[in-house]
Structure 1
Amino acid sequence: MRQGGERRCSSGEGGAVTAEIAVALPALVLVFGLFVGATGAGMTQLRLEEAARAGAREVMRGETQQSVEGTVRRLAGADAVVRLGSEAGWTSIEVTAPVRGPALGFLELTLSATASGRSEHG
Structure 2
Amino acid sequence: MSARDRRERGSVTAELAVGMPVVALLLVAVLTLAAASTAQLRAADAARAGARQAAVSGDLSAARSAVARVAGGDAEATVTQEGDWVRVVVTRPVVGGWLAHGPLRATGEAVAWVEP
Instruction: Indicate the residue corresponding to 1:69 in structure 2.
Output: 64
Q: Please say if 1:30 is aligned against 2:25.
A: yes
1:31 shift after superposition:
0.5
SS of equivalent to 1:69: helix
Q: TM-score, normalised by structure 1?
A: 0.81
Q: Contact conserved, 1:85 with 1:93, CA < 8 A, in 2? A: yes
1:99 shift after superposition:
1.5
1:106 shift after superposition:
8.1
Q: Please say if 1:43 is aligned against 2:38.
A: yes
Q: What is the identity, as a one-letter code, of the residue corresponding to 2:38? A: M
Q: Deviations over 1:61-83 (max 9, x none)?
A: 02533322121111111111111
Instruction: Indicate the residue corresponding to 2:114 in structure 1.
Output: 119
Instruction: Indicate the residue corresponding to 2:77 in structure 1.
Output: 82
Q: TM-score, normalised by structure 2?
A: 0.85
Q: Please say if 1:58 is aligned against 2:53.
A: yes
Runs of 5+ consecutive residues of structure 2 not aligned to the other structure: none
1:11 shift after superposition:
3.3
Paired residues in the alignment total 112
Q: Please say if 1:21 is aligned against 2:16.
A: yes
Q: Contact conserved, 1:37 with 1:101, CA < 8 A, in 2? A: no
Counterparts in 2 of 1:101 and 1:69: CA distance versus 1, 3 Å: closer
Runs of 4+ in 1 over 2 A off after TM superposition: 11-14, 63-67, 104-107
Q: Contact conserved, 2:93 with 2:101, CA < 8 A, in 1? A: no
Instruction: Indicate the residue corresponding to 1:5 in structure 2.
Output: none
Q: What is the identity, as a one-letter code, of the residue corresponding to 1:52? A: A
Counterparts in 2 of 1:113 and 1:101: CA distance versus 1, 3 Å: same
Superposition RMSD in Å? 2.1
Instruction: Indicate the residue corresponding to 1:4 in structure 2.
Output: none
